[in-house]
Amino acid sequence: MAMEAIYILWLRQLKRYLRSRSRIIGSLGQPLLFLIALGYGFGPVFQKAGQGNYLEFLAPGVIAMTVLFTSIFSGIDLIWDRQFGFLKETLVAPASRLQIMIGRTLGGATVSTLQGIIVFFISIIAGFRPANLAMLPFAFLVMLLIALLFTALGTAIASLLEDFQGFQMIMNFLVMPLFFLSGALFPLAGLPAIITLVASINPLAYGVDGLRWALVGASHFGPGLDLVVLGGLDALFLVIGAYLFSKIQI
């Protein structure tokens, strides 16, 4: 019964995503802009600095950015359902709140991973070439771990809020520093000590690093540490998100 409830909620999130074609297309605009404008715009400068092909460096960061944005903003769906009464209908179903939260989180993480895979193929069209196709399953695993982490975080934050404006403000304050200080746009080696410290405690930095290792063979932290950090934080935020979701007052 528990697995059936989780599966139904997962499937519901996936169907909601597939029905929203405008949402799918709209979410691809920013990654495409980053790949073209930054990838080709800063490419000559990056190459003259002796760092190689900037598009190859940038593509894993843009994929991680897509997964981050899609997963953490999945919390808006929770606020939407809460305001319009759909969440109340879900909570009266014969399933525990833990099962509901897990189902929603898995659904949001699946959607975010699919978005990341779509951007991966778009980056190939833009000129990016993975170093080793055999490492693609590892890259997809890292995308899923990033998605689980930030979907659970988005759910936790949305569980504390009741309006879209508050959620948007908190997310914008949180998302942009996470992205810009993750090493998605620039190498982490040789940075000032304060930036290096912030990056080392930024969970997205380990996701970007894992993707970059899988797709281009370069790593700052090491793939083993990337998986340990992402897996540990996934478990932590799933517990926090489940607790906060269980406290929602309807």
The reported pLDDT for the residue numbered 4 is 67
Average pLDDT over the chain reads 82
The reported pLDDT for the residue numbered 218 is 87
Residue 203: left (phi > 0), alpha (psi -120 to 50), or beta?
alpha
The reported pLDDT for the residue numbered 131 is 87
Residue 59: left (phi > 0), alpha (psi -120 to 50), or beta?
alpha
- Higher pLDDT residue, 43 or 184? 184
CA distances for 78 relative to 67, 119, 152, 180, 238, angstroms: 18, 25, 12, 26, 15
How confident is the model over 194-229, as pLDDT tens digits? 888 988 999 999 999 999 999 998 888 999 999 999
Residue 38's CB is within 10 A of a number of other CB atoms, namely 17
Alpha-carbon dihedral angle through residues 227, 233, 235, 240, given to the nearest 10 degrees: -170
pTM, rounded to two decimals: 0.88
Instruction: Report the b/e string of 120-139 with b at 16+ CB within 10 A.
Output: bebbeebebebeeeebeebb
Confidence at 132, pLDDT banded by 50, 70, 90:
confident
The reported pLDDT for the residue numbered 7 is 66
What's the CA gap between 193 and 2, in Å, rounded?
48
CB 57 within 8 A of CB 187: yes
**Rg of the chain (C-alpha set):** 18
How confident is the model over 30-76, as pLDDT tens digits? 888 888 877 777 777 776 665 678 888 889 999 999 999 888 877 77
Tokens at 101, concatenated: 């939260």
Residue of 10, 31, 206 lying closest to 111 (CA atoms) = 10
The reported pLDDT for the residue numbered 17 is 63
Residue of 99, 140, 110, 116 lying closest to 238 (CA atoms) = 99
The reported pLDDT for the residue numbered 63 is 93
Handedness of CA 79, 82, 84, 86 (dihedral sign): positive
Confidence at 161, pLDDT banded by 50, 70, 90:
confident
The reported pLDDT for the residue numbered 117 is 92
Question: What percent of the chain clears pLDDT 90, i.e. is strictly above it?
Answer: 26
The reported pLDDT for the residue numbered 126 is 84
